Structure formats: C-alpha cells, structure tokens
Structure 1
C-alpha cells in the first residue's frame, strides 16, 4: 500500500475570497464620497434674479435657507400666491422664529454667531412677503442675510 494518495485530476480549486472585504469597503468608500445628499426638495417655483457681482459662501453648514415663490405645478392645491418654504414644508411667516430657533439648536454654541440666513426668492415674488420675512428675522436677531442669485447681467430684463 502506498502511503500517499494521488488527487484525482478533474476538481476546480475553491475561489479565494480573502480580498472580498477589501473590495466591498473600497466600493462603500467610493459611494460615500461620490454621493451628494440633497437637503431640501423645492415645492416652489424658484427662478432666481440675475446679479453681476456674485460670491459663493464658504461654509455651507452655517447656512439656513428660506425659499419664497409660487407653488410649483405639482403643488397647485396650495394656491397661486407666493408662499414660504422652510425645509421641506410650506410655512407661514409666523413660523420663521421657530425655524431659526431649531436651526440654532442644531449647531454648536461657537457657530451660532456665524449662522447666515439665505433668502432664495423667486424674481416674481412681491416684496411685501420678503419684507415680512425680514421683519421676523429681525425679531429673532438673525441679522446676517444673503440673497441667492444666479450669475448674469442684472439689467437684462429691464431693457
């Protein structure tokens, strides 16, 4: 009798899965880096006015967005007058102080003085609504305000 047996020739070797976790983590890391999360879904029409001197704001995590404009075609049940959108819901002007307080509560204490309110207002929205929003912002001492615009010639529509 022989002490060593020969293997029979037709078997396939097993698949080596040692590098599988590395590949999975590499794909996970790629998708985490490449994916952009959208914060708000616009429920209003928002064609921004043009401006020729535009700057990008540096720290996006210190921005609070207030949108104003007519409801888009999917939300016509809310009427045809200009409305305010805070986060993902329509709101009244009286709800702005609670929105600002909630945004401030989410931030660290040293970041609160640097919070900026961004007004993204449709160019067809009446200034009465914008004035009401600004008045409410003054009441809660949110005095750093920026207007969101698109880059272009501000005088194009006036000619």
Structure 2
C-alpha cells in the first residue's frame, strides 16, 4: 500500500524536447525585427532639455540632421567650428537642400508630404547655422521641422 501513496504525490515529468525549437524561433524573430543603428556621430551632440516634449511616432517619415562641433578625434583636423552631419559625412549648409531632396526621393510617394526634418542640434551651437539650415529647407519646400531634445529641467540649458 505504501507504494501507491508515493506515486500519487509525484508530478508528471515535463518533456523538454521542443525547448531548442522555441529558443531558435525566438532567436530568429529578434534577429529579423531588430534594427541596427546606421549613423555614427561625427559631431558632438549634447542636446538641450525641454519641458514640453512629444515623441515622433513614425520613424519612416523622419530625416535627421546633426549639428555640433566635430568629435574630439576630428577636431584636430577640422577645427572647433560647428559642422553639419548628413548621414555619415560632414557637409556644408549648401549641401542640405540636395541631401533633403535625395532622401525624399528614397521615400514612398504617399508619405513625402508628411516627412519631418529632425534637427539634432548641440546646445553649444549658435542659432545662425540653424537659421541657415532652415533657409535651405524652405528652398526645397520642406517646412515640417522638429528640434530633438531631452525631457528635463530647462534651467540646465542656461549657463
């Protein structure tokens, strides 16, 4: 009788034969869904803080422009004047409109009117270069401009 009572309290054995299949399925899922960061920053990009912040939802409708002083390894060659980074190269203000047009041509025609230019400007940069970039954007009729910031206390921005 004693043997029958011990068998009732034991849990059935769970088969782990399908566990490797599940692990590989998850691995392939994350490999296909994950995107790799495609821009290497050539300029310093310490963004200012702001209190009223809204996240841009649709990443396929954003064209990014980085503005800042050259990174420390490039500063010896290029100096300390603020530079504009378009994709993975440094450019002048005159090249912005051609870059925007080429990026718009890559987008599907249905969303070209909804594209936003995201300016990621270092907080040490003077407003003159930003004004020049906005003037170039007006020339190609791209009027939706976003200034990327961090959410936080704005008193940190004033020095």
How far apart are residue 120 of structure 1 and its match? 0.3
Paired with 1:26 and 1:46, the residues of 2 have a C-alpha distance of 35
- The yes-or-no answer on 1:70 pairing with 2:69 is yes
Aligned to 2:17: none
- Runs of 5+ consecutive residues of structure 1 not aligned to the other structure: 1-19
Aligned to 1:42: 41
TM-score, scaled to structure 1: 0.80
TM-score, scaled to structure 2: 0.80
- Runs of 5+ consecutive residues of structure 2 not aligned to the other structure: 1-19
How far apart are residue 22 of structure 1 and its match? 8.4
Cα RMSD (Å) of the superposition?
Answer: 2.0
Aligned to 1:144: 144
- The yes-or-no answer on 1:119 pairing with 2:119 is yes
Spell out, residue by residue over 1:113-145, the C-alpha distance to the aligned partner (whole angstroms, 9 max, x if none). Answer: 100000000000011111110110111101000
SS at match of 1:125: coil
Aligned to 1:58: 57
Structure that is richer in helix per residue: 2
Q: CA 1:153/1:29 → structure 2, altered by over 3 Å: closer, same or farther?
A: same
Structure 1 window deviating more from structure 2 (148-157 vs 83-92): it is 148-157
CA contact 2:50–2:153 (8 Å) conserved in 1: yes
Paired with 2:37 and 2:101, the residues of 1 have a C-alpha distance of 22
SS at match of 1:155: helix
Aligned to 2:97: 97
Aligned to 1:6: none
How far apart are residue 24 of structure 1 and its match? 5.5
Q: CA 1:111/1:156 → structure 2, altered by over 3 Å: closer, same or farther?
A: same
In the TM superposition, structure 1's runs of 4+ consecutive aligned residues that sit over 6 Å from their partners are 20-23
Q: CA 1:23/1:146 → structure 2, altered by over 3 Å: closer, same or farther?
A: closer
CA contact 2:123–2:157 (8 Å) conserved in 1: no
Aligned to 2:3: none
Paired with 1:31 and 1:64, the residues of 2 have a C-alpha distance of 25
How far apart are residue 36 of structure 1 and its match? 3.1
Paired with 1:49 and 1:26, the residues of 2 have a C-alpha distance of 38
Spell out, residue by residue over 1:98-119, the C-alpha distance to the aligned partner (whole angstroms, 9 max, x if none). Answer: 1111111111111011000000
